[in-house]
C-alpha cells in the first residue's frame, strides 16, 4: 500500500517536473523575451531558498520576464517611470505555484499601467511551515536588495507597493522595515490583530460567507476563509462596485448600527479595498491602526450595499422585541434581525444587500414574539420602519414608511420601499 502510494507520488512529481521545464522554454512573440514561470519544488530536490523575480507588464501580462541579478533590471521591460507592485506569496505546502497569482497579476495590469514583479520563493516556502518561516528574513533581504537597485535607477520609494499574502505578508512588513518605512504602500492579507494604518475586518474577520463550515470539506475548510482576502482584492480590481468599509470599535457595534459614517477619522471619504490612491482617504492625519468593517456576499464580486434599518415602537414594551427584516430584489434576499431592548422605543441593525436601497423591490417585516410558558407575549406590535443607505452623514436622516405598521406575530408583512435614488 505505502509503496504504491509512493510510486504514485513519484509519478505525479515527474509530471510536474516535465510541465515546469516545458513552460520555462516558451517565448512570448509580443515581447520577444523568454517567458519564465514559477518554479516547482518537491521533496526530492534539495530545499533551498531560490528566489526568482518575474516581471509582468501591460504588454505581456501572461509572460513572466526573469529579472536577472546585477544589471538585469536595466536590460528588461521594467519602466522606471511607472509605479511598481511587488507580489509575495506565502507558505506552499506542496511546492506548487499559487493558483491565484495569475488572476492577481492580470487584475492589477487590467486596472493600472504599472510594473508587476512577482516574487517566486516556492523552494524556500515549501516542506514544513517552520522551515519556510526560517527563510523569511533572507527572503526579505533579497527583495530589499532588488528594491535598492530600483531606487538606484531613479525609481521613487513612494512608487513601490508591496502586496503580501499570508506568510508573504510578514515578509512585506520586514521589507518595509528594512527601508525605514519609506516605501509607498503595503497591502497584506489575513491576520486578526490590527497592524496597519487601515485594517479591514471583512464580515468580522473570521468565518467568511460561502466557505465550508465543517472539516469534512477537507483542504477547502482549512484555506477558504484565509484565502478570501486575495479573491476580494482581485474582485475589487476587476469590478466597478465599491468595497467600502466603516471605522468601528468592533464587529458587533458595526452590526448594531453604531458606525454609520466615516467623518471620524477619515473626514467623509470611507476607505475602499483596491488600488485607489491611499485607499481613497486622507492619510496625513490618520492615526495608526484604524479598524474598519464591511460585509460581503458569499461569492464574487462580493460587494454589497450597507443599509441601516430601524424600527420605532409606538409604545415601549416591558420585554425585548425582535423583528426580522428582509430585503428583496430580483433574485436575492437578505435578512437581519432588529432587537429592541425592553423599555426602549427604538432598535436598529445593519443590513447588507447586493443592490442599493433605492433599487430594492420590497421589504418584509416579521414580528417574533418572545413567549415564555408562564406569560404570552402580545399578539402584535405597532410602529414605524425606517431605513437609510450608508454612509449616513450627520446631516442626513433615515427615510421611513409614512404610516404606523401593525405587525401580527410570526407573519411576513411586505411593503414597497419608496426610497428615491440620489
Ligand atoms: C538585453 O540585451 C541583449 C544584448 O545584450 C539584447 O539582445 C536584448 O534585446 C536586451 N533585452 C531587452 C529586453 O532589452
Ligand atoms: C514608460 O511609461 C511611460 C508612462 O506611461 C511612457 O510614456 C513610456 O513610453 C514608457 N517607456 C517605455 C520604454 O515603454
Ligand atoms: C529555507 O527553507 C528550507 C526548507 O524549505 C530549509 O531547508 C532551509 O534551512 C531554510 N533556509 C534558511 C536559511 O533557514
Ligand atoms: C431586475 O430585473 C429586471 C428585469 O429582468 C432588470 O431590468 C433590472 O435591471 C433588475 N434589477 C436589478 C437591481 O438587478
Ligand atoms: C450634508 O453635508 C455635506 C457636507 O458638508 C454637504 O455636501 C451636503 O450638501 C449636505 N446635505 C444636506 C442635505 O444638507
Ligand atoms: C403613528 O403613531 C404615533 C404615536 O402614537 C403618532 O404620533 C403618529 O401620528 C402616528 N402616525 C400615523 C401616520 O398614523
Between 97-101, 286-290, 317-321, the lowest mean confidence (pLDDT) is in 286-290
Q: Quick: pLDDT tens for 32-42.
A: 678 999 998 87
Gap between the Cα atoms of 337 and 323, Å rounded: 6
Q: What's the gap in Å between 118 CA and the centre of ligand 3? A: 20
Gap between the Cα atoms of 54 and 65, Å rounded: 5
Q: Which of 302, 318, 334 delimits the end of a domain? A: 302
**Per-residue pLDDT at 107 exceeds 50:** yes
Q: What is the mean pLDDT of residues 256-260?
A: 96
Residue 381 β-bridge partners: 407
For 82-217, strand residue ranges (E) read 84-88, 115-120, 160-165, 185-189, 198-202
Cβ proximity of 86 and 160 under 8 Å: yes
Residues 169 and 221 in one domain: no
Q: What is the mean pLDDT of residues 356-384?
A: 90
Number of folded domains that form the chain? 3
**Per-residue pLDDT at 269 exceeds 90:** no
Q: Quick: pLDDT tens for 200-231.
A: 999 999 899 999 888 777 777 778 988 999 99
Gap between the Cα atoms of 311 and 187, Å rounded: 39
Confidence category of residue 190, pLDDT binned at 50, 70, 90: confident
CATH number at residue 345: 2.60.60.20
Residue 23 lies in a domain: no
DSSP, res 179: T
Residue 185 lies in a domain: yes
Long-range contacts of 151-159 (CB under 8 A, 24+ apart): 153/73, 153/74, 153/80, 154/80, 155/80, 155/84, 156/184, 157/182, 157/183, 157/184, 158/182, 158/183, 158/184, 159/82, 159/83, 159/84, 159/184
Q: What is the mean pLDDT of residues 327-342?
A: 94
pLDDT of 152 reads 92
Q: Which of 255, 273, 302 delimits the end of a domain? A: 302
Residues 279 and 411 in one domain: no
pLDDT of 47 reads 57
Distances (CA, A) of 69 to 13, 145, 149, 238: 29, 10, 10, 33
Confidence category of residue 341, pLDDT binned at 50, 70, 90: very high
CB within 8 A of 199, min separation 6: which ones? 289, 290, 291, 292
Length of the chain: 422
Cell numbers placing 213: 463550515
The answer, yes or no, to whether any atom of ligand 6 lies below 6 A from the CB of 406, is no
Q: Quick: pLDDT tens for 385-420.
A: 999 999 997 777 888 998 999 999 999 999 988 766
Residue with CA nearest ligand 3 atom 9: 131
**Per-residue pLDDT at 318 exceeds 70:** yes
Residues 64 and 134 in one domain: yes
CATH number at residue 168: 3.40.50.1820
Residue 130 lies in a domain: yes
Residues 298 and 309 in one domain: no
pLDDT of 289 reads 85
Gap between the Cα atoms of 151 and 144, Å rounded: 10
> Would you call 188 helix, strand, or coil by DSSP?
strand
Cell numbers placing 182: 519609506
**Per-residue pLDDT at 282 exceeds 90:** no
**Per-residue pLDDT at 21 exceeds 70:** no
Q: What is the mean pLDDT of residues 251-263?
A: 95
Examine residue 391 and say whether the peptide bond preceding it is cis (omega within 30 degrees of 0): yes
pLDDT of 145 reads 95
Residue with CA nearest ligand 1 atom 4: 75
Distances (CA, A) of 35 to 21, 53, 59, 101, 400: 12, 12, 13, 15, 60
Between 188-192, 214-218, 319-323, 354-358, the lowest mean confidence (pLDDT) is in 214-218
Residues 219 and 111 in one domain: no
Q: What is the mean pLDDT of the chain?
A: 87
Q: Quick: pLDDT tens for 61-70.
A: 999 999 987 6
Confidence category of residue 5, pLDDT binned at 50, 70, 90: very low
Pairing mode, strands 362-368 and 413-416: antiparallel
Q: Quick: pLDDT tens for 133-155.
A: 989 999 999 999 999 999 999 99
Residues 48 and 185 in one domain: yes
Q: What is the mean pLDDT of residues 252-269?
A: 90
Q: How many whole angstroms from its chain centre is CA 34?
A: 33
Residue with CA nearest ligand 5 atom 9: 395
Total Cβ atoms within 10 A of residue 62: 12
Residue numbers of the domain that contains 291: 194-302
**Per-residue pLDDT at 245 exceeds 80:** yes
Gap between the Cα atoms of 251 and 248, Å rounded: 7
**Probe residue for ligand 3, chosen from 125, 126, 134 as the CB with the greatest number of ligand atoms within 8 Å:** 134
**Probe residue for ligand 4, chosen from 304, 327, 330 as the CB with the greatest number of ligand atoms within 8 Å:** 330
Gap between the Cα atoms of 258 and 20, Å rounded: 53
Q: Which of 243, 277, 302 delimits the end of a domain? A: 302
Amino acid at each position: 500500500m505505502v509503496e504504491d502510494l509512493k510510486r504514485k507520488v513519484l509519478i505525479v512529481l515527474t509530471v510536474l517536473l516535465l510541465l515546469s521545464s516545458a513552460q520555462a522554454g516558451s517565448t512570448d512573440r509580443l515581447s520577444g523575451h523568454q517567458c519564465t514561470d514559477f518554479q516547482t519544488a518537491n521533496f526530492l530536490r534539495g530545499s533551498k531558498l531560490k528566489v526568482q523575480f518575474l516581471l509582468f507588464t501591460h504588454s505581456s501580462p501572461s509572460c513572466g520576464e526573469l529579472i536577472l541579478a546585477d544589471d538585469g533590471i536595466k536590460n528588461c521591460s521594467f519602466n522606471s517611470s511607472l509605479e511598481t507592485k511587488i507580489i509575495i506569496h506565502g507558505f506552499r505546502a506542496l511546492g506548487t505555484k499559487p493558483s491565484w497569482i495569475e488572476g492577481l497579476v492580470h487584475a492589477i495590469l487590467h486596472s493600472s499601467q504599472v510594473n508587476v514583479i512577482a516574487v517566486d520563493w516556492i523552494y524556500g516556502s515549501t516542506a514544513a511551515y517552520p522551515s519556510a518561516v526560517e527563510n523569511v528574513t533572507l527572503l526579505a533581504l533579497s527583495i530589499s536588495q532588488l528594491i535598492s537597485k530600483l531606487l538606484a535607477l531613479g525609481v521613487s520609494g513612494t512608487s513601490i507597493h508591496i502586496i503580501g499574502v499570508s506568510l508573504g505578508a510578514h515578509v512585506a512588513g520586514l521589507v518595509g522595515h528594512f527601508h525605514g518605512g519609506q516605501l509607498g504602500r503595503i497591502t497584506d492579507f489575513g491576520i486578526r490583530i490590527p497592524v496597519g494604518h487601515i485594517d479591514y475586518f471583512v464580515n468580522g474577520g473570521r468565518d467568511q460567507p460561502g466557505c465550508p463550515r465543517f472539516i469534512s470539506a477537507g483542504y477547502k475548510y482549512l484555506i477558504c476563509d484565509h484565502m478570501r482576502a486575495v479573491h476580494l482584492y482581485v474582485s475589487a480590481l476587476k469590478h466597478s462596485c465599491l468595497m467600502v468599509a466603516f471605522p468601528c470599535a468592533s464587529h458587533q457595534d458595526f452590526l448594531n448600527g453604531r458606525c454609520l459614517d466615516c467623518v471620524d477619522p477619515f473626514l467623509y471619504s470611507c476607505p475602499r479595498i483596491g488600488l485607489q490612491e491611499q485607499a481613497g482617504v486622507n492619510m496625513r492625519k490618520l492615526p495608526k491602526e484604524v479598524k474598519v468593517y464591511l460585509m460581503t456576499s458569499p461569492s464574487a464580486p462580493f460587494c454589497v450595499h450597507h443599509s441601516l434599518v430601524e424600527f420605532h415602537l409606538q409604545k415601549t414594551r416591558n420585554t425585548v422585541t425582535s423583528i426580522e427584516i428582509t430585503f428583496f430584489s430580483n433574485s436575492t434576499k437578505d435578512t437581519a434581525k432588529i432587537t429592541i431592548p425592553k423599555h426602549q422605543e427604538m432598535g436598529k441593525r445593519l443590513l447588507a444587500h447586493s443592490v442599493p436601497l433605492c433599487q430594492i423591490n420590497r421589504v418584509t417585516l416579521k414580528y417574533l414574539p418572545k413567549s415564555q410558558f408562564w406569560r404570552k407575549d402580545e399578539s402584535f406590535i405597532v410602529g414605524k420602519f425606517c431605513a437609510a443607505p450608508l454612509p449616513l452623514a450627520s446631516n442626513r436622516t433615515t427615510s421611513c414608511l409614512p404610516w404606523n405598521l401593525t405587525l401580527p406575530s410570526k407573519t411576513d408583512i411586505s411593503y414597497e420601499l419608496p426610497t428615491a435614488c440620489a
